Amino acid sequence: MKRVGLIFGSRSVEHEISITTASKVYEALRQLQGEYETLPIYLNKAGAWLAGPAVDRLLAIEAEGRACREPARRKALQEQYKAQLEHLQRGTGEAAQRFLTPDPTVRGLSGNPERASWFKKTTGPPLDIAFPVIHGTHGEDGTLQGLFELADLPYVGPGVAASAAGMDKILSKLIFRGAGLPTVEAAWFSRRRWLADQPAVVREVETRVGYPLVVKPAVAGSSVGISRAANAEELVRAVGRAIQFSARVLAEKALDARLEVQCAVLGNHEPVVSECEELTQSAGIVSFEEKYLKRPDAADADLAPSHIPARIPEDLARRAKALALDTFRALDARGIARVDFLVDRATLEPFVNEVNTLPGSLCLRLWEASGIAPAALVRRLLALAVEAHEEKTRTRFESREGAGLVDRKHLMTPGK
């Protein structure tokens, strides 16, 4: 039996969403009992790694709250959830601090060296596979994937580079352009440049992109810091908001009459694509609140309203699916990713908007509609993680030939 570390929470504005995702994945993993054993590992808002009964309880409350339809019980569960969450922020309490060391010879979870009792049992249970479900910063952006690489631990989802590029809207755009994928016209600049020479940047954006446009922080998610601008005054206000969330900003041509369609991709070398999902149109930007909070069906509060399959012509669906696969390959993604499109309503032309790596891509509903149940999806993802890790063992990390090319003298005497 393999032990899976389900890693969630962390220092991200999407902290609570990660708890919901983790509880869903935990449910699916429980259906694989006998094949996999799960150790939930919660990274609190300060970034402390915690495991144990207090963490398991947080997931249990979340799962019950999601399924509960009885208002009084729901309210009680919400209170319990808040209390449990606060408890886990204050200190480690009954939850033990257990973190992954980058040292591949350890292979287990370490305890906090400042707590003698844990130090004695420094190497806790070894993990076989990591399943990260942290949304946004410090989890979806390649940083955590870097730790898994150092630890030589198989992990679910895309690697360091694809995760980092998927998280950065400017890097993504450069990759889309480089790979010849259709994407909306945009200009970008740094916070520093904006603060130093705002009028020049405004002029540049006006000539390169023009109004109306959409201003986005390069690195953020769930519509945080995104707003529309129809003139210079609105542009200044929009950039003022965006630079609070990211050091670089993207100004993109607004596609006002649009459809929003997304497809998920699953696999390593021979990826498959899901059905297309159509987000229900809203007047402006689909906001964080609309996406996650304002659902009439409170039990599914974390899901955006949508249609699966998308109500689009067969041709467009086929085109979107093919582009999703091309995008997945261009990014060198593996495991799973979701490709989002903005479609011009008039021309039905699709533009690649963004790639969501793990866990933004989990899309349990979308895969269910494509004939893959959550437990089967999770099983497949774990197998893909192991396959990708095996691939890595075929890569050499030392090079005798390379060493021969370098005159050792120069290495020993840097002053020369």
Ligand X SMILES: Nc1ncnc2c1ncn2[C@@H]1O[C@H](COP(=O)(O)OP(=O)(O)O)[C@@H](O)[C@H]1O
Binding site for ligand X (CB under 6 A): 184, 214, 216, 221-223, 226, 252-255, 258, 260, 285-286, 340, 342, 353-354
d(CA 158, CA 143): 12
What's the token pair of residue 329?
A: 């390959």
What's the distance, Cα to Cα, between the start and end of the chain in Å?
56
Comparison of 255 and 372: residue with beta carbon closer to ligand X: 255
For ligand X, give the closer residue by CB, 278 or 354: 354
| Beta carbon of residue 185, minimum distance to ligand X (angstroms, whole number) | 9
We find the least distance from the C-beta atom of residue 321 to ligand X, in angstroms, to be 19
Nearer to ligand X, 275 or 354 (CB): 354
- d(CA 72, CA 276) in angstroms, rounded, equals 37
Distance in Å, CB of 217 to ligand X, minimum: 9
The minimum distance between CB 218 and ligand X, in angstroms, equals 10
C-beta of residue 43 within 8 angstroms of C-beta of residue 7: yes
Residue closer to ligand X by CB (options 110, 353) is: 353
Strand pairing of 2-9 and 36-43? parallel
For residues 254 and 406, what is the distance between their CA atoms, to the nearest angstrom?
Answer: 52
> Is 73 in a helix, a strand, or coil?
helix
For ligand X, the closer of residues 148 and 245 by Cβ is: 245
User: Which is nearer to ligand X, 81 or 341 (by Cβ)?
Assistant: 341
Positive/negative CA dihedral, 100, 102, 108, 113: negative
Q: How far is the CB of 281 from ligand X (least distance, A)?
A: 9
CA distance 184 to 351: 6
Q: How far is the CB of 412 from ligand X (least distance, A)?
A: 49
Shortest Å distance, C-beta 331 to ligand X: 15
272's CB contacts (< 8 A; 6+ apart) are 265, 266
Which residues have CB under 8 Å from 317's CB, separation 6+? 276, 309, 310
Rounded to the nearest 10 degrees, the angle between the axes of helix 374-393 and helix 15-30 is 100
Query: Smaller CB distance to ligand X: residue 57 or 253?
Result: 253
Name the strands in the sheet holding 306-307, side by side, starting at the edge strand that comes first in the sequence: 306-307, 272-279, 258-267, 335-344, 350-356
